[in-house]
Amino acid sequence: MNDTQKRGRQNPSRVRDHLANERTYLAWMRSAIALMGFGVVIVRLRYFRIPEVPHPSTGWKLGLLFSLVGLMTVLLSTVYYFISRHTIDDDSYEPSTLRVILFSITITLLAAWVIYYVFTATASPMSFLAPA
């Protein structure tokens, strides 16, 4: 039986599983893009600080970390997509709890650092963040 005949009689449940896998992959891609975007925004926040601050700004480190986590999300979600695709075809798919927990902990730590950074950064008098 050739590939065309096999595709014509695929199990509808398996098709739904593959479509769900693709939707999950796209959701991870959106998350990765958002993380990289947050990284850029955080780096831009350093321009709202007073230039004469004696200690160097750490905003660029936080922005870089967000961007790197976004990049790693792209890479890992792509690998996981193909692993899931293979296990769906083999009818041996098992959801990954560890991946969700690790990603949640990573985002929680980054969010805590952002909150700390935003509320401890000295705002420039010319900034829209400073009260008038």
pLDDT tens digit sequence for 50-68: 555 555 567 778 888 889 9
> Which residues form the domain of 72?
11-120
Query: What is the sign, positive or negative, of the torsion defined by CA atoms of 26, 32, 35, 41?
Result: negative
* Position 132 in a domain: no
Its sign, for the CA torsion 4, 8, 10, 15, is positive
Output the six-digit token pair for 58. Answer: 């750490």
Q: Which of 21, 30, 31, 23 is nearest to 83 (CA)?
A: 21
- Quick one: pLDDT band at residue 81, thresholds 50, 70, 90? very high
Cβ neighbors of 17 (< 8 A, separation 6 or more) are: 88, 93
pLDDT of residue 130: 44
Place of tokens 């969010």: 111
pLDDT of residue 56: 56
Residues 6+ apart with CB under 8 A from 106: 69
Q: Is residue 130, in this structure, part of any structural domain at all?
A: no
Instruction: Write down the residue that tokens 């593959």 correspond to.
Output: 18
For residue range 3-61, what is the model confidence (pLDDT) as tens digits? 545 555 567 788 899 999 999 999 999 999 999 988 888 777 666 555 555 555 677 78
Instruction: Pick the closest to residue 114 from 48, 43, 56 (CA basis).
Output: 43
CA distance 16 to 68: 32
Distance CA 68, CA 64 (A): 6
The reply to whether 128 falls in a domain is no
122: pLDDT strictly greater than 60: no
18 located within any domain:
yes
What's the rounded mean pLDDT across residues 95-121? Answer: 85
Number of folded domains in the chain? Answer: 1
Tokens for 87, please give them: 């296990």
Look up the pTM and report it: 0.69
